[in-house]
A and B are shown apart, each in its own frame.
Chain A
Amino acid sequence: MDLSLSTRSQDDFEVIEVSGEIDVYTAPRLREALVELVSKGHHNLIVDVERVEFLDSTGLGVLVGGLKRVRSHDGSLDIVCTHDRLLKIFRITGLTKVFGIFDSVDAAVASH
């Protein structure tokens, strides 16, 4: 029910693995994690939401905020997601054209 976050490095990227539910209650923790990574100089991020059971517009707003932060440093923020229930929210809001969305972390890394 809650949100879990873990971070690891892969090649030149920081991968944030998210599990649980991202909503108005939990999204601030994801925001804090993204802000902290950027403040530490990590500007190429991959957010893996494969284990996310629920995502709403608050979560999308946090991801967009993260994208703006890394782009201000010429960085990137890609999404790993294959679940249609989540992809539908990205499509509705037009964000499939804003984020790189990939089937796997390896595919996200290989795209750069």
Chain B
Amino acid sequence: MTGHEPATVTRLSRPDIDITVPADGAYLSVLRTAAAGLAARLDFTLDDIEDLRVAVDEACSILLAQASDGRLRCTFTVSDASLTVAARVPSHDPRPPTQDGFAWTVLTALATKVEVKVVSPSTGGHDLVICLTHARSTDPAS
């Protein structure tokens, strides 16, 4: 069982990938594809890749409903055991997501960990952030 080297996994604390798209549903497929592509490159299992694809979509869909500006930003950070995606939009009136909705139910079921926070960027205003982590099911190096 030799010859296959997992894709290079960087171990940086800063985001490994940073994508900003218009805050428009038309661009969710771009972010889904990026999440799935990165997970595939990191040798996540097919189930994990699909989970991430859906979880990122749900997080961003929730954020779009509260976006007050035209940009949706996703940062992807890789560690040995997980992939973390932080999605954020500027929001005039940031509110916690409705926790009895389908979107939150799906997001929290598919992600290993979900955090919602409001941050105040140096440029002013507020950003609503959903940070989701998906742990790797199996270690391809094992």
Contacts and interface: CB of A to CB of B under 8 A. Distances in A.
Interface in B37-72: 50, 53-54, 57-58, 61, 64
B124 interface: no
Contacts of B106: 56-57, 89, 92-93
Nearest to B109: A92
B58 A57 contact: yes
A96 to B, nearest CB: 13
Contacts of B141: none
Contacts of A23: 25, 28-29, 57, 61
Interface string A1-36: 100000000000000000001011100000000000
A104 interface: no
B12 to A, nearest CB: 30
Contacts of B32: 54
Contacts of A88: 50
A60 B28 contact: no
Interface stretch (B1-9, B84-92, B97-105): B97-105
Nearest to B28: A23
Interface string B89-120: 00000000000011101100110000000000
B3 to A, nearest CB: 29
A85 interface: yes
Interface of A: 1, 21, 23-25, 54, 56-58, 60-61, 85, 88-89, 92-93
Interface of B: 24-26, 28-29, 32, 50, 53-54, 57-58, 61, 64, 101-103, 105-106, 109-110
Given A23-B25, A23-B61, 5 more contacts: A25-B26, A54-B29, A54-B32, A54-B57, A56-B58
